Every structure is written in structure tokens, then in C-alpha cells.
């Protein structure tokens, strides 16, 4: 803890292909970190509860059609509309575990063929995560997990391209976890990484901005 007792929370992001297990892990991580006495919230993007989120939801469920660039900017706007709340939560000491973030935005849109730098631009200025965990699974193995539903993007060929985009985006700071391990083993690894990260933030690591 810093001496003033005003230590901030950590921004922890989980990324990966559809069905890699992000949702399962977020729901396990929350109570286990709370059990250690941390203040934690679980967030996800897209946040389908906002006005922009509802447009995204209609698009993903094929109830509306949008230009590739327009939907990309909506996903980004959905993060921007939560940015000030995110900063306030972190500064008040709450750790956020976030299911998908800017990396999903860029990986999915660039998998459609949009230019990578163009995709990154609207994300610049959002808060940078303190930890990015990539739950690594092949598109084939992910598809075996109960099969895909009817949402846009839930197709093997497209998921292969998304995996390549993630690979291009990843850097040495990402923690790669084998998403085919038993759920409990992944949970143990994530908990250790999250606790380390929370302590680093408590010890004074400052907030920064993504891709700037």
C-alpha cells in the first residue's frame, strides 16, 4: 500500500477467441479476489446495456446491418462511454476484471480486412490495462465447445483470421494461458497473476493510456 492509503485498483483484461472460457474465468476470479479482501468488479465489452451497446447487440444478432467501419467505431464508442466511470472506479481502489477490450476491437475488425492502424486509432487515449491475459485455444478446439450459436463472427474460418490478428497485436507483456487446461487449473494461474498485478498497482504503478 502507498503511505497515503489512496492506492488504486488494477485494470485486468481477458482476451481470446469465442468460447475460450473468458466468461467462466471472470465469474470465478471475482469471488476469489473478493475472498482475499480486494474490492473487485467484473465488466465486459460490448456492454450491451447502453444505447450504443444495444445497437451493437442488434448487429451481432443479425437484426441490423452496418458498414464494417461504422460497427468498429460503435464498439470503440462503447468503451469511451464507460471510460470516465472506469477511471473513477480504479482511482477509488476497485480492481476491474474486464471480459474483452480494445484488443478484441482491433482483432475482429482487422480480421475483416480493415487496416490495423486505422482500427487502433479510435482506441488511443483509453486506459491501458495493467494485465492482459490471452486465453489461448485453437479455433477448432473452441468450436468443439458446444458449437457456435447464431451470432455474427461465430464461424470457424473467421475465428482463424481473428486468431492471426491477435497474434499480430500481442506483445511481450501479455500473459498467455493454455485455455484447454481444466477450468480449475486456469483459475489458479489467473488468480496468481491477478494478485501480483493488484499488488503492483497498490504499490504506486500509475495509470497510462493504450497505444499512445
Residues that bind ligand Z5A in the complex, under the rule CB under 6 A: 16, 18-24, 44-46, 60, 75, 99-100, 104-105, 108, 145-146, 153-154, 179, 181, 183, 186
Between CA 80 and CA 125 the distance in angstroms is 9
Q: Which is nearer to ligand Z5A, 7 or 52 (CB)?
A: 52
- Residue 138 beta carbon to ligand Z5A: minimum distance, rounded to whole angstroms: 13
Give least dist CB 147 to ligand Z5A, A: 10
CB closer to ligand Z5A, 70 vs 183: 183
DSSP lists the bridge partners of residue 12 as 97, 131
Q: Are 135 and 179 in contact (CB under 8 A)?
A: yes
N residues, the chain: 212
- Smallest gap from residue 4 Cβ to ligand Z5A (A): 35
Residue pair 210/123 in contact (Cβ under 8 Å)? The answer is yes
CA nearest to 39, candidates 100, 89, 99: 89
Query: Which CB, 133 or 197, lies closer to ligand Z5A?
Result: 133
21: left (phi over 0), alpha (psi -120 to 50) or beta: left
Closest contact distance (angstroms) between CB of 30 and ligand Z5A is 13
Residue whose CB is less far from ligand Z5A, 8 or 14: 14
Show the DSSP H helices in the chain as ranges.
22-35, 51-60, 68-80, 83-91, 102-111, 116-120, 139-144, 156-169, 183-202
Least CB distance to ligand Z5A at residue 195 (A): 20
168 vs 163: CA distance, rounded Å: 9
- HSE, side-chain direction, 13 A CA sphere, residue 162: 24
Q: Which is it for the CA torsion 14, 16, 18, 22, positive or negative?
A: negative
Q: What is the smallest separation between the CB atom of 151 and ligand Z5A, expressed in angstroms?
A: 6
Q: Of 20 and 131, which CB lies nearer to ligand Z5A in the complex structure?
A: 20
Which CB sits closer to ligand Z5A, 46 or 129? 46
Amino acid at each position: 500500500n502507498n503511505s497515503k492509503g489512496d492506492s488504486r485498483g488494477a485494470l485486468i483484461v481477458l482476451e481470446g477467441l469465442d468460447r475460450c472460457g473468458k466468461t467462466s474465468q471472470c465469474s470465478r476470479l471475482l469471488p476469489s479476489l473478493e475472498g482475499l479482501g480486494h474490492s473487485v468488479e467484473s465488466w465486459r465489452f460490448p456492454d450491451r446495456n447502453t444505447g450504443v451497446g444495444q445497437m451493437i447487440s442488434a448487429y451481432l444478432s443479425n437484426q441490423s446491418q452496418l458498414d464494417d467501419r461504422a460497427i468498429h467505431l460503435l464498439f470503440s464508442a462503447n468503451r469511451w462511454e464507460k471510460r470516465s466511470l472506469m477511471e473513477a472506479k480504479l482511482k477509488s481502489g476497485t480492481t476491474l476484471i474486464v471480459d474483452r477490450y480494445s484488443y478484441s476491437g482491433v482483432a475482429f475488425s482487422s480480421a475483416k480486412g480493415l487496416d490495423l492502424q486505422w482500427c487502433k486509432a479510435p482506441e488511443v487515449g483509453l486506459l491501458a490495462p495493467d494485465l492482459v491475459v490471452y486465453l489461448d485455444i485453437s479455433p477448432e478446439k473452441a468450436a468443439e465447445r458446444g458449437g457456435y450459436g447464431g451470432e455474427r463472427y461465430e464461424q470457424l474460418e473467421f475465428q482463424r483470421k481473428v486468431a492471426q490478428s491477435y497474434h499480430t497485436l500481442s506483445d511481450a507483456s501479455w500473459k498467455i494461458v493454455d485455455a484447454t487446461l481444466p477450468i480449475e487449473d486456469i483459475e489458479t494461474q489467473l488468480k496468481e497473476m491477478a494478485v501480483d498485478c493488484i499488488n503492483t498497482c497498490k504499490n504506486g504503478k500509475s495509470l497510462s493510456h493504450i497505444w499512445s
